[in-house]
A and B are shown apart, each in its own frame.
Chain A
Amino acid sequence: MLLEREEPLRALALRYAEAAAGNGSLVLIAGEAGAGKTSLVRAFVESLDRSALVLSGACDPLSTPRPLSPLQDFAADPESGLGDLRPGDTEPYELFAEVLDRLRNTIRPIVMVIEDVHWADEGTLDLIRFLGRRVADTNAVVTCTYRHDEVDRTHPFRTVLGQVGSLSTTHTVEVSPLSQRAVEQLTGDTGIDAYDLHERTGGNAFFVTESIAAGGRMPRTVQDAVLARLASLDPEVRAAVEAVSVAPRDLAIDRLARLTDSEARTVDAAASSGVLVADGPRLRFRHDIARSAVEAALPPARRLALHRRMIAILEDDGEHDIARLAHHAVGTANPALILRYAIPAGRDAIARGARREAIAFFSAALRHSDLIEPPLAADLLSTLGEQQSLVGDFVGARESLTSAVETYQRIGDLEGQAAAMVLLQGPVWVLDGTEAGRAVTARAHSLLQDRDPSEALGKVLTRISHNHMIARQREPGRQAAIRAADVATVVNSEEVAWRADALRGTIELVMGDSAVGAEMLETSVKEAERMSSRKLQAWSLGMLGSGAGEARMYPTAIHALNRAIAIGQASDDDYEVAYNRAWLGRIAFEQGRWDEAAEFAEATIRGFGVVAEHLLTAQCVLGRLRIRRGDPGGLPLLQRLADSGDDYLLQYVWNAYCGVAEHAWLDGKPEVAVPLLSGAFERAMSSDSPWARGEIGFWMWRLGEIERPPKGAAEPFALQIAGEWIEAAQLWHELGCPYEEAMALADGDETAMRRSLVLLDRLAASPAAHRVRGQLRELGARGIPRGPMKATRANPEGLTPRQLEVLESMALGLSNGEIADKLFLSKRTVENHVSAVLMKLGVDTRSKAVAVAVQRSIIEM
């Protein structure tokens, strides 16, 4: 499979088409070693029709290159018709003229391939120069591949590039590294971390595909390729390159000289070996994966010696970079050195947001836990467990945190124990279920409830508030947050105070006034920025993103989610990144960007199989998408989710219930979904979530189970249930939900239904479109508009009770703002009601509406 090569392939195909028409060209294919130049050429050649004559030749990295080796390769191919050329015996110029002559005098279009020109001998370079200048009136595409990173200023091919590069018949095709998205596509469901792999390989196609083939371990082929490259170097130069491999990231040039006792000449040779790149005064491997390969191949004693020597050099220099010191300390396997450097390095890594690095350092230190005082060991275990949770290693986290809890208990530190238990809730929740998770926090609470306030108590209370928020229980959640804030004031804890505020914002966002909640959370984000805590920033942005998503405030949500993802990726926060991506998928689905929604959902399902919340969100999207498109496989997926329903996770699965109901309704068998949906409805009504009440209530209404909007239902759903389809459609339009808008319009008159159909066809929502077409046909057959909905039958103009109330207020001369206050509606909704009333009464001003209404006895004055 060739990814992200559509552009270069198209460019090559175009050159070929031109060549077939007698306009030849020289194409230079540039890319680093392993970028996929050869694969590109192969794919191009395979795409050619049979009329093409393909001449393949290559240059080799031989110490004494075969002269004109590509021509020798051509001559050796009986198909080529160049078998009579004798590269050794003819004068070069005559030989080149002969080749050109053949290119000019064939009817077949020719693709000449010269691979690895960076290794070309002088003769081959002359040939390329010669052909490059004269290729215009041939039927040939002369294709040369080369490693642009190995052709430096002094390389002989540079001169050729200078001479032919600017000709109009010369084209350059760059084979760039694979993007992260392509790497994700290639890792597929292998469980390999695509982000990490992309980082380590820099998107190099060879390294990426080989690493995947090796299941994420260091691939033998990569090791072979890298070591083969090293093998061609002088022994001292090779030793210098090998020494660089023990350093993390990079190594200062002067230190390399001291480390290996090498002369400047040797260091320079190492720097220009092609394996390393010079970054100012420092050297590093071009690809980190190559560094790992070289390091892994070092003999153990040599590696140990290099690390020991390096530590000595660093200590001599008074090095401040603690991560560098710790890296070499771990390399020496000396416990005293490890404990001296790895612990502060782990803390430093956390401060930098480098979680995996922190985990590695703490784990290294804790391998010598018998040498660590128990209070410190407990702290380290607790910090390690927290970091493991954040990168999604829940099994490791549960183990570390359980040890932390036991250690605190042994030394009688109740506060420490409770704080560790709060952290333990996370992995237990994921691995053993939400109930087991909450039980851990409840035990932590019982440890501290009769003791003086402490920061640990504050943490327990914020966790309890968070749990209520997840279950969409507004008051208990708020109460716990307020208590946490009180504790924070007493014990002066900035973080607990921050968390209490952020939770109150989140609770307001998903269960109260969403605009106010969003503002509160924005403040929390800014605070986290001020406190320069990436963890808290990512957390609050995730809450803002998913909460605003639930409240269908999409611009706010998308902005926050993308910011959260950027921060999360920079700090190895896989858990948050996956959750936020799943949410971007749900939003794309609701906004009618269905292809994107499918991609987000699939990426989540592939990449993060373990965490219930992510998976539920993504699978709901996929299931509902299939149902709305009429594709197979949607219903079984949603039914499985609905059956596995943990009561606590209603917010993640209500979409599954609604999808099942939607399928039944579209299928014309609403009754089959009633038992399932009724149960969900009851749960929604015992929660404080307006959007769960709204959407589940909406489907209860569609299935004929309820007649009026349920209490506390989100506005657009409530409007639609009340028969106010004009206002509902308008509101859905403003929110940016085309499918919902179409569903509201489908409840309207013929014009509205036609509009609905346009939207549904645009989405390719065939089942719903089919249904609306049926409604329209029915209308046409009878030739009369369909009667108004049950709830609106009361008055002849088809006004809903709410519209009547608005009309009455209009008659009293109230402004929209005054009506909004009186009826507890937003001003925008009142505006929508007013325009619906004007439309239904067929007038264009408020005063005319009142006059008509009085005249027709709709209202009394």
Chain B
Amino acid sequence: MPRYVIERTFPEGLEIPTTTEGMKRCLAAVDDNATEKVTWIHSYVTVDHRKTFCIYDGPTPEAIRRAASLNELPVDSITEVNVLDPYFYVGSPATLLDEHTGRR
């Protein structure tokens, strides 16, 4: 399933209280997402709480948008991404070949 970064802007700032209420809201979002086969992985929230970068798995951008509208969340942009980490290339066939032939 493709992975997406969704940028959202909250002009008034995003406030989710660390209470049962807040937990309910997050879990309700998970349920709504499920109806669209969308999974919320996690989000990065800017320090001023006005912008979030959310990582989602979902079948299509349309499903991502529907899930957002079920959760009454804004969408600025949807970008399809792949995961890259520092060890992504370690042990990949190409690097193994390079090590074998002594190339750096």
Contact = CB atoms under 8 A, between A and B. Distances in A.
B92 interface: no
Contacts, number: 44
B24 interface: yes
B51 to A, nearest CB: 15
B95 to A, nearest CB: 29
Interface string B30-72: 0100110000000000000000000000001110011001000
B80 A764 contact: no
A49 B20 contact: yes
Interface in A30-51: 47, 49
A631 B61 contact: yes
A630 B62 contact: no
B68 to A, nearest CB: 11
A631 B78 contact: yes
B76 A633 contact: no
A766 B6 CA distance: 14
B46 to A, nearest CB: 19
Contacts of B2: 632-633
B35 A3 contact: yes
B24 A49 contact: yes
B80 A632 contact: yes
A281 to B, nearest CB: 44
B22 to A, nearest CB: 12
Contacts of B4: 632
A116 B58 CA distance: 38
A622 B76 CA distance: 19
A355 interface: no
Contact of A595 (B31, B65, B78): B65
Contacts of A626: 61
Nearest to A626: B61
B18 interface: no
B62 A632 contact: no
A125 interface: no
A632 B61 contact: yes
A629 B61 contact: yes
B26 to A, nearest CB: 13
Interface residues of A, number: 18
Given A1-B34, A49-B20, A49-B24, A630 B77 contact: yes
Interface string B76-89: 11111000000000
Given A49-B24, A633-B80, A764 B75 contact: yes
A604 B27 CA distance: 32
B35 A622 contact: no
A764 B75 CA distance: 9
B35 A766 contact: no
A766 B9 CA distance: 14
Interface string A571-607: 0000000000000000000000001001000100000
Interface string B11-29: 0000000001001100110
A509 B24 CA distance: 55
B78 A598 contact: no
A633 B61 contact: yes
Nearest to B74: A764
Contacts of A630: 77-78
A47 B20 CA distance: 12
Contacts of B28: 47
Interface string A1-18: 111000000000000000
B34 A602 contact: no
B24 A622 contact: no
Interface in A742-767: 764, 766
A631 B75 CA distance: 11
A2 B34 CA distance: 9
B75 A632 contact: no
A632 B80 CA distance: 6
A310 B77 CA distance: 66
Nearest to B77: A630
Contact of B66 (A3, A595, A622): A595
Interface string A94-138: 000000000000000000000000000000000000000000000
A595 B69 contact: yes
Nearest to B21: A49
B60 A1 contact: no
Contacts of B65: 595, 598, 629, 631
A602 B62 contact: yes
Interface string A611-635: 0000000000010011001111100
A3 B37 CA distance: 13
B62 A598 contact: yes
B34 A632 contact: no
Contacts of A766: 76-77
Contacts of B35: 1-3
Nearest to A633: B61
B64 to A, nearest CB: 8
B69 to A, nearest CB: 7
Contact of B79 (A595, A598, A602, A632): A632
Interface centre among B27, B61, B65 (most CB of A within 10 A): B61
A47 B25 CA distance: 11
A625 B60 CA distance: 12
Contacts of A49: 20, 23-24
Nearest to B28: A47
Contacts of A598: 62, 65-66
Interface in A59-100: none
A632 B69 CA distance: 18
A49 B26 CA distance: 13
Listed from nearest, the 7 A-B pairs whose CB atoms lie closest are A631-B61, A632-B80, A598-B62, A631-B78, A49-B20, A1-B35, A630-B77
Interface of A: 1-3, 47, 49, 595, 598, 602, 622, 625-626, 629-633, 764, 766
Interface of B: 2, 4, 20, 23-24, 27-28, 31, 34-35, 60-62, 65-66, 69, 75-80
15 contacts: A1-B35, A2-B35, A47-B31, A49-B23, A595-B69, A598-B62, A622-B62, A629-B61, A629-B65, A630-B78, A632-B2, A632-B78, A632-B80, A633-B61, A766-B77
